[in-house]
Amino acid sequence: MYSNFQGKTALVIASSQGLGKAIAEQLASLGANVMISSRDEEKLSRVKTDLTEVNKGIVEYKACNVTKKEEIQQLVKATVEKFGTIDLLVNNAGGPPAGTFEEMSDDDWQYAFELNLLSYIRFIRETLPYMKKNGGKIVNIASSSVKEPIPGLILSNTFRTGMIGLTKTLASELAQYEILINTVAPGRIATDRVASLDEIAANKQGKTKEEIEDMMNKTIPLGRYGKPEEFATYVCFLLSDMNTYMTGQTFLVDGGMVKSI
C-alpha cells in the first residue's frame, strides 16, 4: 500500500522516542530514507542501530535543539547533503511544562513559543526550497488540546492551537507547489510524555498513576490508550502518495475521547 515511499527522504523531528520514533520507524520500514533527530545524540545512535537492522530505508541522525535557529538550519543542510533533498517533513516537539496561567513566567511562555510553534515555522521555512521543486508533504504533530483544551496545560493549549492557523494558512499558500500540509492531533497515546502527565496528575490528586490511567481509560470510548505505532500509521497515510487531496486539515487520533464536533 505504501510502496511509494521508496526513494523518498523524510525528516522527522523529535524522533528518538515516542511518537516521532514510531513514525520514523514506520517510514523506514516502508522504504523511505529517514533523518531522525533530537537533543540526545547517544539515544539517536541507539535508535539508528535499531531501525537500520529491521528496515528497508537508510536511517541517519543528527542532534538538534529545535529552539535554536542555527541548529535547525544545520539539520536541514545535513539531511540534504546526505540524501539529496527533502520530500517529507514531520514537525514534532516535546510538550512544554505543565501548569496554570498564574504559574507561568515570561520565560516559560517564550520557551513554549520557540519549542512548539516557532520551531515548526523554521523547519517549514528551511525545507520549503526543496519541496517547491517536486512537491512534498508536511505533517505537524499537535495535541487533542487543539479541539478541547486540557486543564493544567495552558502553554500547550495556546501554542498548539497556533499550529492549526499556520497549517490552514499554508495549505492555501503552498498548494501551487503541490505541497500538502496537515495537522495530526494525538489523544492519550502511550508515550513517556503521557506517562509523565499521568504522574503529575496522580501527585496532585493524591492517587496512584494506575488510578489516573484507569480514570482516563473510562473517558475514552475505545477504553484504552492508543499505541504509538497506531498513531504512526495515520501520519504515514498523510505522507504517502495515497493522500492526493487532503490539505489544511486537522485529524484527531484519540479513540473517540474528544467530544467536540
Average pLDDT of span 188-198: 88
Average pLDDT of span 33-59: 92
Residue (of 7, 15, 73) closest to 46 by Cα position: 15
Indicate if the pLDDT at residue 78 is higher than 70: yes
Average pLDDT of span 108-131: 98
Element containing residue 37 per DSSP (H, E): none
Indicate if the pLDDT at residue 38 is higher than 60: yes
For residue 161, what is its C-alpha cell? 492551537
pLDDT at 2: 54
Please give the domain boundaries of the chain with CATH numbers for all domains: 3-187+228-252 (3.40.50.720), 191-225 (no CATH)
Please give the mean pLDDT across all residues of the chain: 94
* β-sheet bridge partners, residue 250: 183
Indicate if the pLDDT at residue 5 is higher than 80: yes
- Band (pLDDT 50/70/90 cuts) for residue 4 is confident
pLDDT at 53: 79
Q: How far apart are CA 13 and CA 115, in angstroms?
A: 12
Average pLDDT of span 130-141: 97
Q: How far apart are CA 191 and CA 186, in angstroms?
A: 11
For residue 50, what is its C-alpha cell? 535499531
How does pLDDT run across 162-176, given as a tens digit for each residue?
999 999 999 999 999
In eight-state DSSP terms, residue 222 is T
Cα-Cα-Cα-Cα torsion 250, 255, 257, 258, nearest 10 degrees, comes to: 10
Give the count of beta carbons closer than 10 Å to the beta carbon of residue 261. Answer: 4
For residue 128, what is its C-alpha cell? 520549503
- Band (pLDDT 50/70/90 cuts) for residue 197 is confident
Sequence-distant (≥ 6) Cβ neighbours of residue 50 within 8 angstroms: none
3-state DSSP percent of the chain in helix, strand and coil, to 5: 55, 15, 35
Q: How far apart are CA 247 and CA 196, in angstroms?
A: 32
Residue (of 209, 96, 190, 113) closest to 152 by Cα position: 96
Amino acid code (one letter) for 48: K
- Band (pLDDT 50/70/90 cuts) for residue 121 is very high
The full DSSP string for 193-220 is HHHHHHHHHHHHHT--HHHHHHHHHTTS
Residue bearing cell 505543565: 98
How does pLDDT run across 223-244, given as a tens digit for each residue?
999 999 999 999 999 999 999 9
Q: How far apart are CA 192 and CA 69, in angstroms?
A: 26
CB 160 within 8 A of CB 142: yes
